[in-house]
Amino acid sequence: MRSGPALDAETILTATEDVLRRHGPAKATVLDVARALGVSHASVYRHFPSKAALREAVTRRWLGRAREDIAAVAADTRQVPPERLRTWLTTLFAAKRKLLSEDPELFATYRVLAAEHSDAAADHVTDLLEQLRVIIADGVTAGDFTCADPAATARTVFDATMAYHHPAHAPEWQAPGTEAALEAVCALLVNGLRFR
């Protein structure tokens, strides 16, 4: 059994990431995590009440790491809103594809949570929708976009680009032409938003 500094949640999450990378989401257990840390599984349960809670927390932290680049685009008011919207959607796609290629096992965990409408996946979507809403609202203020309800329109733009961020479409993301297809969807959506 492990001695030394007290076990904290971050240490458990890092160990869980490693276990998920090694065993995959279907096979990884809390006991594997405890073993990797040299502690009892009760010590892990003290921080995370269930395997599901642990899996949620790992995915939440992992998705959070990709957040910075995407949020930076949403906040970059040097780009005019139509251009910022395009850059945001292509940055989101690039970030999702990078998560997939660099960490396929953790991506698989995220895909399971998205299919189960877990809190971690739902909060991730809520965060993205709010970024999108800000860009669209800025576009309305600047006179670039016409729309009555930026929050509702953010949802519509998000739905119309599902193929480029929903994990169920991940198997298609490496296909040639996917970036060009997203560019074409972005151009059509931006034209739709400009329409009056």
Q: Is position 47 an interface residue for a second copy (rule: CB under 8 A)?
A: no
- Give the pair of three-digit tokens for residue 153: 């329109």
Site string for a second copy, 133-162 (x = CB under 8 A): -------------------xx-xxx-xxxx
Instruction: Pick the stretch among 68-76, 85-93, 131-139, 179-187 that binds a second copy (CB under 8 A).
Output: 179-187
One residue of 53, 125, 140, 181 binding a second copy per CB under 8 A: 181
134: which residues sit within 8 A by CB, 6+ positions away? 74, 75
Site size for a second copy (CB under 8 A):
27
Cα angle 91, 110, 134; round to 5 = 40
Q: Is position 128 an interface residue for a second copy (rule: CB under 8 A)?
A: no
CB of 185 to a second copy, least distance (A): 5
108: which residues sit within 8 A by CB, 6+ positions away? 24, 25
One residue of 166, 173, 176, 179 binding a second copy per CB under 8 A: 166
* Smaller CB separation from a second copy, 7 or 189: 189
Q: Is position 67 an interface residue for a second copy (rule: CB under 8 A)?
A: no
Q: Is position 190 an interface residue for a second copy (rule: CB under 8 A)?
A: yes
Q: Are 15 and 33 in contact (CB under 8 A)?
A: yes
Q: Is position 115 an interface residue for a second copy (rule: CB under 8 A)?
A: yes
- In terms of Cβ atoms closer than 10 Å to its own Cβ (0-12, 13-18, 19+), residue 176 is exposed
* Smaller CB separation from a second copy, 142 or 184: 184
* Smaller CB separation from a second copy, 90 or 156: 156
**Which DSSP string do the residues of 37-95 spell out, in sequence order?**
HTS-HHHHHHH-SSHHHHHHHHHHHHHHHHHHHHHHHHH-TTS-HHHHHHHHHHHHHHH
Binding site for a second copy (CB under 8 A): 115, 152-153, 155-157, 159-163, 166, 168-169, 171, 181, 184-185, 187-195
